[in-house]
Amino acid sequence: MIELLNIGSLLLGLAAWLLPFGVLLRPQTNPAIWIIFSFVACAIAIAFQIFYTQHVVQVEDWAALMDTMDAVAFATKSLLIVTIVLNICVWLVQRRRIIA
């Protein structure tokens, strides 16, 4: 069951990156909804990693914690930065479509 947290985190992180493109594929939809879903997927993905880290601490698997913490921190930073940049870019493109 705990292993599903990592898989869920990866899938939700991927969803956070793919959802902004829904605005580009369906230009008549409200971009705010897609952007909100993208940020929610990003937040849940990060929460899953926090829950997994909590489990590793509870079982006192310090070696696993030390081995994975740098990768988790890098993945979290990457997920946040890319999600924010993608959503800003998609919002700007959609805004330009509305004005034009």
> What span, in angstroms and rounded, lies between the C-alpha atoms of 76 and 38?
15
- Sketch the domain layout of the chain as residue ranges: 3-99
Please indicate whether residue 96 or residue 35 has the higher confidence score (pLDDT): 35
pLDDT digit string (tens) for 18-54? Answer: 999 888 888 777 888 999 999 999 999 999 999 999 9
pTM of the model as a whole: 0.90
Helical residues (DSSP H) of the chain, grouped into ranges: 3-18, 21-25, 31-58, 62-99
